[in-house]
Amino acid sequence: MHQESLPHVVIVGGGFAGLWAARELAKAPVRLSLVDRRNHHLFQPLLYQVATAGLSAPDIAAPLRHILRGQDNLTVLMAEVEAVL
């Protein structure tokens, strides 16, 4: 089956819910697009440790494409969703 003929699923946001949804659909016969304003996933509860030099920024943030690498049915887009029609 050609990629274009598969159903297209759009995931809005690369937070925990968006990442889990993308991973769960990794083997599904769908085309996935993950849309987020930023190109990284940030674990906000540890921001205070970065501010106090307990951790470095890369310890709490990772690029979305890196987290979801190897997932052939996924495209990560850095954009902002303005409307859902």
Task: Look up the pTM and report it.
Answer: 0.82
C-alpha 46/C-alpha 56 separation (Å) is: 10
- The pLDDT value recorded for residue 18 is 96
Is the pLDDT at 81 greater than 70? The verdict is yes
Give the separation between CA 32 and CA 19, rounded to whole angstroms. 12
In the predicted model, what is the mean pLDDT of residues 47-56? 88
Residue 66, SS3 per DSSP: helix
Whether pLDDT at 2 is above 70 = no
d(CA 20, CA 81): 19
* pLDDT per residue as tens digits for the range 6-28: 999 999 999 999 999 999 999 99
Question: Looking at the predicted structure, is the pLDDT value of residue 4 above 80?
Answer: no
C-beta separation of 60 from 46 below 8 A: yes
